[in-house]
Amino acid sequence: MNPRRRQLILQAGTAAAAAACGVPLTAQAQGAALNWPRGPVRIIVPNVPGGALDILARLLEADLSKMWRVPVIVEFKPGAGTITGTDFVAKSAPDGQTLGILAIGVLGIQPALRKDMPFDTLRDLSGTMLVVGNILMTATNGMPFNDLAGLIAYGRANKGKLSYATAGAGSSMHLAGEQLNLLTSIDMMHIPYKGAGGAYPDVIDGRVQLLIDPLFSSMPHVNAGKLKPIAVMGLKRDPAAPNIPAAGESIPDFDFASNLGIGLPRATPPEIIAKINADVNRVIRSEALAPRLRDMGLIVTGSTPEQFDAHMRRSLKTFSDIVRQAKVTMN
């Protein structure tokens, strides 16, 4: 291909990517985006292998590598409830070569729970929301209620007799339970586990009455008849389980869906941020990837960096209010 023609095609592609995010590119900005990536791109997973963050990173890895024509390498940096790995991303070189999978709910919750956050999400990270995974409240089969209204009535009549399990303190599942306590005047006790693996048998056997966990993790137990669903802990029903009511149908603005995204240092040149944002949005909406994400119980959302910032501002306020009112701690 004629070199000049190739240059024009590349410029047009970069401009189109930026336009998708509403970011105009100057000639100088186009040049910076054309020179990116300058080598392998790392995607940091701030958790151990095997979870939703890992699966999302692996799915992005293959398609982005083809699109960018460089190796895309997934690395794991777990610790401190995803904060260690996310801090690594926030403090990496602002050149677009290091990205990170973001557990967006954690980024909204942790600043309300700890005073030693090593980074400030709005100051240090630019991000894109990719997918949302609903969380589900389930109950031991022997409990005398089958829906959220029945749970609330039982909880009010039996103060202090209900407990709910989650995969850990300080998670969106934990705060969903505490918000339900605040809004309905029931008094469920939180039982945090180190991961949800140990929680399922305890709830199935009735040692703990309730469980709040991602829908895609809970549905195999529901479908096997081992647990009964109470409510999707969000505004709307999940397309993968349309017969299960959403908490938002009876409690306005109750929304504890788990958002996952991808982020990079905010100091990265805006034209590179725009290109990465457009490319990642294109990949997750592709005919090859979107159905696979749906099969995992993940709903494709996508966003611009500006929408990410607005979501984070809302989350920070919401979770701060819940932590203060419910006196939530990491214990």
In tens, the pLDDT along 151-200 reads 999 999 999 899 999 988 888 899 999 999 999 999 999 999 877 888 99
Q: From CA 18, how far away is CA 82, in angstroms rounded?
A: 30
Q: Please report, as a single letter, which amino acid is at residue 164.
A: Y
Q: From CA 192, how far away is CA 171, in angstroms rounded?
A: 10
Mark whether 44 and 15 lie in a shared domain: yes
Size of the chain in residues = 331
In a domain, 326, yes or no: no
- Statement: residue 17 has pLDDT above 70: no
DSSP of 270-327: HHHHHHHHHHHHHHHTSTTTHHHHHHTTEEE----HHHHHHHHHHHHHHHHHHHHHHT
Mark whether 139 and 159 lie in a shared domain: yes
User: What was the pLDDT predicted at 51?
Assistant: 76
Cα torsion angle, 292, 297, 300, 306, sign: negative
Measured at the CA of 50, the angle between CA 44 and CA 53, to 5 degrees, comes to: 45
CA dihedral 314, 317, 111, 278 (to 10 degrees): 10
| Number of structural domains the chain divides into | 2
Two tokens at 163?
A: 């407990």
What mean pLDDT is reported for the chain? 87
In a domain, 173, yes or no: yes
Range(s) of the domain holding residue 212? 135-256
DSSP of 78-105: --TTTHHHHHHHHTS-SSSSEEEEEEHH
Q: Please report, as a single letter, which amino acid is at residue 181.
A: N
Q: From CA 187, how far away is CA 162, in angstroms rounded?
A: 7
Label residue 81 left, alpha or beta by phi (over 0 means left) and psi (-120 to 50 means alpha).
left
Report CA Rg, the chain: 21
**8 A C-beta contact, residue 217 and residue 121:** no
> Which distant-in-sequence residues (6+ apart) come within 8 Å of 28 by Cβ?
none
Two tokens at 138?
A: 């389930």
In tens, the pLDDT along 29-80 reads 455 667 899 999 999 999 888 777 888 999 999 999 999 999 999 999 998 8
Residue bearing the bigger pLDDT, 277 or 331 = 277
In a domain, 329, yes or no: no
Mark whether 102 and 190 lie in a shared domain: no
Here the CATH number for the domain that contains residue 36 is: 3.40.190.150
Residue 253's Cβ-count burial label (10 Å; 0-12, 13-18, 19+) is exposed
Mark whether 7 and 122 lie in a shared domain: yes
Here the CATH number for the domain that contains residue 211 is: 3.40.190.10
User: What was the pLDDT predicted at 327?
Assistant: 86
**8 A C-beta contact, residue 72 and residue 297:** no
Which 3 state secondary structure label does DSSP give 55?
Answer: helix
Of the pLDDT bands very low, low, confident and very high (cuts 50, 70, 90), residue 273 is very high
Percentage above 90 pLDDT, the chain: 60
In a domain, 160, yes or no: yes
Q: Please report, as a single letter, which amino acid is at residue 234.
A: G
Which residues face 246 on adjacent strands? Answer: 232
